[in-house]
Amino acid sequence: MDIFHPLAQVYAEKHSTPQDSLLQELELFTRAHHQASHMISGFLQGRFLQLFSTLVQPQCILEIGTMTGYSALCLAAGLTSTGQLHTIELREQDARVAQSFFDRSSHVAKIHLHCGDARTIIPDLQKTWDLVFIDADKVSYLDYFNMVFPSVRVGGYILADNIFFHGQVFEEPIQGENAKAIAAFNTAIVNRDDVIAMVVPLRDGLSVIKKVK
């Protein structure tokens, strides 16, 4: 049976706990005002991120690619009482929108938004990460992974979004710089012996990677 039944999304949303009012407002705002609103995590993936974070109960979360802040708010829900989430966004306008919603969240004191290039910001954070979420420029996924991996604790997780890249990674031959970069990332991860990885066919594909040594 095809797991991508055309009604699966509707059914899954109907039988999942609804998002809270702030997330609903943020999603509606993003879809109405952002020219790339399709990039928002959205309800089902957001709920997955929230539950995953709650199960891990991280002390330190790193998010690379804030956009308007939807996924950060979902991830922050699982933080310990003293936990901190650091999220990095390159675009100033997106960062301003995200901060405006963070300021209205009960997690505001735990969320630290950095605006700029992740490559220069990450080394200065000097944290040990329990959970990392990569959802930024696709050509840099492997660079981001290699940059953060040494700082992820053994037993910690890295999540990478859009690893199907609109289905383009299924094509032969793969076309386009982004799709080729994502395909190379996926191949590199599955061939490592220091992680356990699983691809979750949720939205545009989500890679769940556990550091085991």
Distance CA 111, CA 85 (A): 5
Count the alpha carbons within 13 Å of 3 in the hemisphere toward its beta carbon.
4
Distance CA 87, CA 61 (A): 8
The residue to which tokens 């505001």 are assigned = 108
The residue to which tokens 């004191």 are assigned = 109
Does 1 reside within a domain? no
Does 2 reside within a domain? no
Distance CA 142, CA 193 (A): 16
Distance CA 133, CA 80 (A): 17
Mean pLDDT per 10-residue interval, the chain, length 213 residues: 72 93 95 85 93 98 98 98 98 97 98 98 97 98 98 99 95 95 98 98 95 98
Does 58 reside within a domain? yes
pLDDT of residue 35: 82
pLDDT tens, 141-169? 999 999 999 999 999 999 999 999 999 99
Q: What is the pTM of this model?
A: 0.95
Residue 124 neighbours by CB distance under 10 Å: 8
Distance CA 164, CA 136 (A): 14
- CATH code of residue 162: 3.40.50.150
Task: Name the DSSP class of 20.
Answer: P
pLDDT of residue 3: 55
Domain interval for residue 115: 8-211
Does 3 reside within a domain? no
pLDDT of residue 1: 38
Number of domains comprising the chain:
1
Does 19 reside within a domain? yes
Does 84 reside within a domain? yes
Q: For residue 38, which amino acid is it?
A: H
**Three-state secondary structure along 105-149?**
CCCHHHEEEEECCHHHHHHHHCCCEEEEEECCCHHHHHHHHHHHH
pLDDT of residue 200: 96
pLDDT of residue 36: 83
Does 52 reside within a domain? yes
Does 160 reside within a domain? yes
